[in-house]
Amino acid sequence: MPQLTARRAALLVAIAACLVYAGAVGNGWALDDHPVIERNPAAHSVAAALDAAFSPYWPSEGELSAGLYRPLTVLTPLAGLEKADVVRRGAGLALDLTFSCLAPDERFRHCGACNKCEERRRGFREAGVADPTEYAS
């Protein structure tokens, strides 16, 4: 059996990464692909991509128009749902470990007063699921 060297390990990781996305190759551009890849010059040239890969991801002040390119996809499968729908789907899971407060107290408990806490309370109430959250007020 061949020895797993760092070079072979890197090659295996690269192959595995390509295999993960192989099924999406024929799908075309979607959502943020347009500004991040399709219309970004850094994604169409090896030299520009290398420059982007080794430059800071977040632009410093005054460089907001810098071309950003990172092959990163963020999935937000619950983004289009109402809070009550999210709670219903998550019922039975450890929802007490989720956090949504804008102003937690010194013990990192939900404040119970901000608009996110209000949305959270309403989501549990409308879903008919007991709220396991420990609120400060």
Closest to 95 (Cα-Cα) out of 80, 113, 76, 110: 110
Selected range binding Zn ion among 3-11, 45-53, 66-74, 104-112, rule: CB under 5 A: 104-112
Provide, rounded to whole angstroms, the least separation between the CB of residue 100 and Zn ion.
8
DSSP-assigned letters across all residues of 87-131: HHHHTTS-GGG----SS--TT--B-S-SHHHHHHHHHHHHHT---
Selected range binding Zn ion among 3-11, 27-35, 70-78, 105-113, rule: CB under 5 A: 105-113
42, 52, 95, 117: which one contacts Zn ion (CB under 5 A)?
A: 117
Comparing CB distances to Zn ion, the nearer of 68 and 101 is 101
The Cα 128–Cα 10 span in angstroms is: 49
Please list the residues that pair with 135 across neighbouring strands. 110
- Site string (50-89) toward Zn ion, x via CB under 5 A: ----------------------------------------
101 lies in the binding site for Zn ion (CB under 5 A): yes
The Cα 84–Cα 121 span in angstroms is: 9
Q: 135 by DSSP, 3-state: which?
A: strand
Binding residues (CB under 5 A) for Zn ion: these are: 101, 110-111, 114, 117
